[in-house]
Structure 1
Amino acid sequence: MATAARPAEPLRISILSLPESGTMAAFGLHEVLGNTATDADALSRPIRPVLVARKRGAFRSSTGLQVTPEADLGCSDADVIIVCDIHLASDETPEGRWPDEIGWVRRHLERGALVCSTCSGAVLLAEAGLLEGVEAASHWSMADLFRERYPGVKFRPERILCDSGHGGRLVTTGGASSWQELALYLIGRFCGAEEAARVARLFLLGDRSHGQLPFASMARPRQHGDAVISKVQAWVVDNYATAIPVSAMVERSGLSERSFKRRFSAATGYAPVEYVQSLRIEEAKQMLETEDVAIEEVSVAVGYEDPTFFRRLFKRRTGVTPGQYRKRTRIRTFPM
């Protein structure tokens, strides 16, 4: 799959934390987004997250942990801003609480930035009047507040991710852990589905009911100095779908079958058939993550004419069926 040259400029994301916010979303978003395209050879766009607050000084979060922001509201060059969750007691009101933050959010929206909220952070956007007349997601416990204080907002507590207007430049999410969905959405939107899938595997984001196996990638073959085996490895990367690939590899090596298998295993740590299967499954996973082709087409594309065998092999290697893998790894888009 052809990829574009890596953009020189990183995507600038400001994560707004309030004294009424917790730390899970702010710290989690910062770490996950900051691990996007960290490899010097990566082709996807890197992200530069910055933790922002009203003032630069350290403060206590709603959970009592100390937060030390990297920038204050004077920063105005973000491509994306994220308003973190807000915790208010039952006798507290949002009225008049965040005039500086609201002004900061509005300025970014007017300048063309993408404005997002996670969990109950949508309350600040509603208080700013940005959600009037549009659908918005937030934590389900905010239903009464939205009904009473923001009756013009079409509150959607069942949504995880919601396009909340302004031409796709306002996004709200619901639930305490919805920051994970937002992180993958932003990576997918700006850096590509492949990078989002890589980050999801790295941090085990998504459905974990089948354990870690669906997130695992092919272990990198060990470094070695066997030139014959290196030549065969280079060939099979582009020809893994070849019929009877191990026989073709033996032929290209010029060795006897027994000698080839022994040297290949010693050099790479894989038996030849396991190596080919791993390459094929990794390509199948990438197709399932990024393309809308039938499972049978994926099977043939990676070298398996028998889709039933492919499904069995895929499940043995990943712990889930190809269909389950596709469902859990596709990057979430706006529900329509």
Structure 2
Amino acid sequence: MAAFGLHEVLGDTQRNDSALSRPIHPVLLASQQGPFRASTGLNVTPERGLEEECADVVIVCDIHLNRDETPEGRWPEEIAWVQRHLNSGALICSTCSGSVLLAEAGLLDGAEAASHWSMADLFRDRYPDVRFRPERILCDSGRGGQLITTGGASAWQDLALYLIARFCGAEEAARVARLFLLGDRGYGQLPFASMARPRQHSDAVISKIQGWLVDNYATPNPVSAMIERSGLPARSFKRRFSAVTGYTPLEYVQALRVEEAKQMLETEDTAIEDISITVGYEDPTFFRRLFKRRVGVTPAQYRQRNRVGGVLI
């Protein structure tokens, strides 16, 4: 859990013999009194309750949400506590899906925000005023640097180094990075992301087209083929498809093709040019550009980092 990792890494600033202007004293807080079992199964014992603490920095750690759950009406005590600290000048941060709480509080409206890439659908549907940045690891989300959101589950490491550099200096951040072997994720989250799950819907025509695409995504002129099979006028089909899936027809096809390419890069030695043709792109140059735009790295870089049986970074 991010909370434990942050507690250990940030707390190490107190153990450095070098003179520090402002070492960090982390405290684990929760609204629930006494030990409780987290969604991961680990037992958590908060050091203090929310009502007892006034903090200079607040970090909202990752939140567990099932696909059928909504954030509506959840965390009222935590949201009020965070808002009070924001108004009093505290630095408010989140790790991974913790940004959902900040979005639910309305703190991210009109601002860019990072979160785990799997939260893209939730932000799109429930928080349309937030400019969601799924590729970002760490994002200055406004209020003059008073709101910081971070991406995937391990992005707490980047947040820890950011906070140490901000409050203790770059030299201390470098020392902690070396001590804990905290590495660089300069490529962001996109290399780790998969196609966002399309929305659940009851449109039988679109469902039929989605089923057909599973085996026919590489067909030439796929959008035209989809429209023809649907029996709908082109504009009506595109409008209905986007409304129920959250993707335009072309974006949906590209996402399917890129996911198949990623699987081939991870498990096969097939040349990238041949993978391009297999997934439906006769022009390897176009395929490479599309792949990098959607994944954040080139096909060759993705293969190097994710090859099954090879060295994983």
Q: What corresponds to 2:27 in structure 1?
A: 50
Q: What corresponds to 1:161 in structure 2?
A: 138
Q: What corresponds to 2:182 in structure 1?
A: 205
**Structure 1 residue runs of 4 or more that deviate by more than 4 Å after TM superposition:** none
In structure 2, distance between residues paired with 1:182 and 1:91: 29
Question: Whose Rg is larger?
Answer: 1
Deviations 1:180-239 (A, max 9, x none): 00000000001000000000000000149xxxxxxxxxxxxxxxxxxxxxxxxxxxxxxx
Note if 1:143 corresponds to 2:120: yes
Does structure 2 conserve the Cα–Cα contact (< 8 Å) formed by 1:113 and 1:169? yes
Q: Which amino acid aligns with 2:2?
A: A
In the alignment, which of 26, 38, 53 is matched to residue 3 of structure 2?
A: 26
Counterparts in 2 of 1:189-268, with a 5 A limit? 189-207=166-184
In the alignment, which of 81, 94, 98 is matched to residue 75 of structure 2?
A: 98
Q: What corresponds to 1:326 in structure 2?
A: none
Gap regions ≥5 residues in structure 1:
1-23, 209-336
Gap regions ≥5 residues in structure 2:
186-313
Note if 1:75 corresponds to 2:52: yes
Note if 1:184 corresponds to 2:161: yes
Q: Which amino acid aligns with 1:194?
A: E
Q: Percent of pairs identical after alignment? A: 78
Give the 3-state SS of the residue equivalent to 1:103 in structure 2: helix
Deviations 1:234-261 (A, max 9, x none): xxxxxxxxxxxxxxxxxxxxxxxxxxxx
Give RMSD over aligned pairs: 1.2
Q: What corresponds to 1:170 in structure 2?
A: 147
Q: What corresponds to 2:230 in structure 1?
A: none
**Structure with the bigger percentage of helix:** 2
Give the 3-state SS of the residue equivalent to 2:166 in structure 1: helix
Q: CA deviation at 1:40?
A: 4.3
Note if 1:39 corresponds to 2:16: yes
In structure 2, distance between residues paired with 1:205 and 1:61: 25
In structure 1, distance between residues paired with 2:89 and 2:53: 11
Q: What corresponds to 1:65 in structure 2?
A: 42
Q: CA deviation at 1:167?
A: 1.1
Q: What corresponds to 1:87 in structure 2?
A: 64
Give the 3-state SS of the residue equivalent to 1:186 in structure 2: helix
What is the total number of aligned residue pairs between the two structures? 185
